[in-house]
Amino acid sequence: MGKRKGGNKALGPLSEKSGSANGYLFGDPKMIVAVPTIADTATASVVSEDLVVVDERTDSSNLENPPENESVIGGDKTSADYYFDSYSHFGIHEEMLKDVVRTRTYQNAIYQNSFIVKNKVVLDVGAGTGILSLFCAKAGAKHVYAVECSLMADMAKEIVEANGFSNVITILKGKIEEIELPIAHVDVIVSEWMGYFLLFENMLNTVLYARDKWLINDGIILPDKASLFLTAIEDAEYKEDKIEFWNNVYGFDMSCIKRQAIMEPLVDTVDQNQIVTNCLLLKTMDISKMAAGDVSFTVPFKLVAERNDFIHALVAYFDVAFTRCHKLIGFSTGPRSKATHWKQTVLYLEDVITICEGEALMGSISVEPNKKNPRDIEILLKYSFHGKRCQVSRTQHYKMR
């Protein structure tokens, strides 16, 4: 799985005055329903935290007396270790917490609908730093069991203690599939399980396992709906730099790498002006009812051009909804919405399609977890196009890993 040069796009600083969700797209992106998710709309814009400058710092460098405790988060980790335990490092949690769209939407769904968790027993699946557990505890939860498999569980316990919620939140270190809760059932499950392309890392199956084992009948899952969308974009400049580059590298043919590069989906923020076609709903998942096998699917698509242009890639993104709230709360990771750390997933086509307004690119997309490593995703794309200026039919295979 690739990312564009330059790393993550800035999402804006996180502060108590930060804004929240970016609105929720229902089907046709032209029909945008903006869902207010801030109780006080005067606080809706993102505002930087006050800068605090400390002069005449005299404390010693962190290099002079390294900690003896090797369990410090990230203290003795290598890149190989992070393949198995990437969520032990604080950096990935910092990125997610600073994603205001993501974090504020969860906060508002819980705070503005406290009836969901008040006096209820809550299970937080994949708790990380424990931020969602803290939201639930502050909203009046009877008790929260926060399950985290990585070393971040140790930090989460300290965070809970530092904020005075040790009597409400219990941190359990381990895999959901292996731990045992001290109670038979929970009333609510909260989890931020979504990955790139919605399903990368396959954490959804872990939430479904917890649901089937512990959630009471008619219990609530936050969030409870997720939808995957597809559109097509013009992206000549970056495709030339990312894919076609390998055709001639300082005078040498390295096109064998090009064949590998085009199979790897690219995670990046797409400019909405690049969109050439409609945005099509591919799949909606009802987390409260779906089966584990539903993460594998094949669906047809028909993308209709909204202008004369070229198509270089398809782009996938997802929306999330909390439908059990008084008012629908959700967010979109689409190109026409405020950027999130999930960005969008770009699938480059081998062909450059010349399309005219009203013409349709048709095909099907199949998605399933990799058989050897279920956290990776296999994507099979079949498409055909028969337009005035271009005809093409092809099958492409992508791997997110």
Judged by phi (left if over 0) then psi (alpha if -120 to 50, else beta), residue 140 lies in left
Choosing from 49, 177, 201, 306, the catalytic residue is 201
- Report how far residue 399's alpha carbon sits from residue 401's, in angstroms, rounded to the nearest whole number: 6
Residues in the chain, overall count:
401
Choosing from 16, 56, 180, 192, the catalytic residue is 192
- Report how far residue 279's alpha carbon sits from residue 93's, in angstroms, rounded to the nearest whole number: 30
Rg over alpha carbons for the chain, rounded to the nearest Å, is 23
Phi, psi angles (nearest 5°) of residue 66: -60, 145
70 in active site: no
Is 247:253 a contact under the CB 8 Å cutoff?
Answer: yes
SS3 (DSSP) at 15: coil
Consecutive H or E run containing 378: strand 377-386
94 in active site: no
The residue to which tokens 């400058």 are assigned = 53
Token pair for residue 157?
């316990």
Q: Which residues contact 284 (CB under 8 A, 6 or more apart)?
A: 225, 226, 227, 228
Q: Which residues are catalytic?
A: 192, 201
